[in-house]
Structure 1
Amino acid sequence: MKIVFVGPTLPDVAGFVPAGIEIRGPAVHRDILNAVNQGVTTIGLIDGYFEDVAPVWHKEILFALSSGVRVYGSSSMGALRAAECAAFGMIGVGKIYAQYASGQMVDDSDVAQIHGPPEMKYLSLSEPLVNVLATLDHLLAKHELQGVEYSSLRASAEGLFFKDRTYRTVVANADLPEYPSRKRLEELLRANAVNQKRLDALELLDTIAAAENARQPAPMEWDFASTATWRKVL
C-alpha cells in the first residue's frame, strides 16, 4: 500500500493521482505511525498541519524507516522533514527540498501558507515564500524585472509574515517609490506565477508511482530508540 499526504499543494490531486496510490489529507501527529501499523509500504509526505495541532513527529518518520517503509518528502512539510531526516534514509524530492538540504532555505515558514478547508478545495489565501521567490527568479531570468525591482520585491516578500504574504502585499510593501504602476507589477507577478510547491509535488507522485510496493530491509546503520515518551503514543 502506497499513501501520500497532500492537500493545499495539490487540491486537484483526485483527478490525476496515479493508480495504486491512496491520497490522504495533510498529515498530523500519529498519521505516519498509524499508516505504518496499517501495513503501508511507501509514504509520500507533502502537506502537514501545524500551529493549532501537533505536527508530524520526526520520531514517527524514524519509526517508519526502521520498519522498512520507504518515506519520501517534498514541497512543504514534506520538504522540511526530508531535509531533517535525510541522514536516516528519508528521501527528499524536488527543488524546495534541495534548498533546505543545502541550507539555502532555513525557515519553516518559507513553505507555509494559509488556506481554506477541504470543502473549499483548500482555497489559497496567501502565497508561500518559496513560490514568490521562484516567480521573481523566473521574471528576472526573462528580463521582465530589473535588478532593483527584483531586490525590492524579494526584500518585501521575505519581510512579510507568512499569513500576510500575497502578491498584492508583496508589491505594496516593496521599496519602489518611483515605480509608475504597482498594479501592473502585481499583474505581472500573477500572470507569471511559478507554483514550485506544485511542481515538486507532481515529481513526488511520479517517484511514489515508480517505487516498489514492498517494504525494504530495516536500516543497519542505526537503531530506533523506543523511549518512554515514544511508548506513550503507541
Structure 2
Amino acid sequence: MIGLVDGVYEYVPAIWHKEILFGLAEGVHIFGAASMGALRAAECAPFGMVGIGRIYEDYASGALEDDAEVAQSHGPAELGFLPLSEPLVNVQATLARCLQAALITPDEHDQLLAAAQATFFKDRTYKGLVSSAIANRDRATAMLAILRENSVNQKLRDAEMLVEAVVGTPDKRCVPQWDWSFNKTSVWEALFPSTGN
C-alpha cells in the first residue's frame, strides 16, 4: 500500500497521476492526505484513490482549488526541513480557531486572511501577516503571540490520520474491480518498458 502526503516543490517532479493509476490498477491501496497527497486524492478519487482529512475534503468539495494553498517553504534536509513559511491551509485553520475562541475579532480575522491569501507562499509567516494587516503596533504584537500560541498544523493533523489509516489497512493487494483499465501509453512504455502484461 502507499500513503502519499507531500512532495518537494521546484526541485523534484511531482508524483504523476499515471503512476497512481498504475498502482490502483495493480490492486495497491493508495491513500492521500495533507498536501500533495490531498491534491492527488481529490483528482484520483474517481479511480479508487482514498482521500483522508480536512484538506482532502476541501479540495474534493472545491473549497480549495490552488496548489499554492498547501505549499510551504522549508530548509534543507541538513536542517531537518525547518519550516520557513506557513501554508495557507494552516493559517486558515489557525485563524478559525482564534476567531471561535474570541481571541481575534471578525474584522481582524478577515484582514489577516486577506493578507495571507495575497502573500506568496514562500513569504507567508505569521509575523509578516500581522505586520501587513494590523496597524496598531501593540495589538499586532499581542496578536502575533496569539497566533503562535494557537497555531493549527492542519497538514500534520491530516498526515497523522493518513498514517493511522495505512497502519489499519491489511498489507495485501485487493482485486481491482474498477470500471476503467490502465492505458499504457507510448510515453509510459518508454519510461517503464518492463511493467509486465
Range of TM-score over shorter length: over 0.9
More helix by share: 2
Q: CA deviation at 1:118?
A: 2.3
Q: CA deviation at 1:220?
A: 3.0
- The match for 1:215 among 152, 170, 173 is 173
Q: Which residue of 2 aligns with 1:43?
A: 2
Normalised to the residue count of structure 2, the TM-score between the two structures is 0.94
Q: Quick one: distance in 2 between partners of 1:71 and 1:207?
A: 10
CA RMSD of the aligned region, Å?
1.1
CA contact 1:75–1:198 (8 Å) conserved in 2? yes
Q: Which residue of 2 aligns with 1:23?
A: none
The answer to whether structure 1 residue 173 and structure 2 residue 132 are counterparts is: yes
Q: How does 1:1-234 map to 2 (within 5 A)?
A: 42-174=1-133, 176-178=134-136, 180-234=138-192
Deviates more, 1:177-186 or 1:98-107: 177-186
Q: CA deviation at 1:52?
A: 2.6
Give unpaired runs (5+ residues) of structure 2: 193-197
Q: Quick one: distance in 1 between partners of 2:143 and 2:151?
A: 12
For these two proteins, the number of residue pairs brought into alignment is: 192
CA contact 2:38–2:52 (8 Å) conserved in 1? yes
Normalised to the residue count of structure 1, the TM-score between the two structures is 0.80
Q: CA deviation at 1:178?
A: 4.7
Amino acid at match of 2:5: I
SS in 1 for 2:177: coil
Give unpaired runs (5+ residues) of structure 1: 1-41
Q: Which residue of 1 aligns with 2:195?
A: none
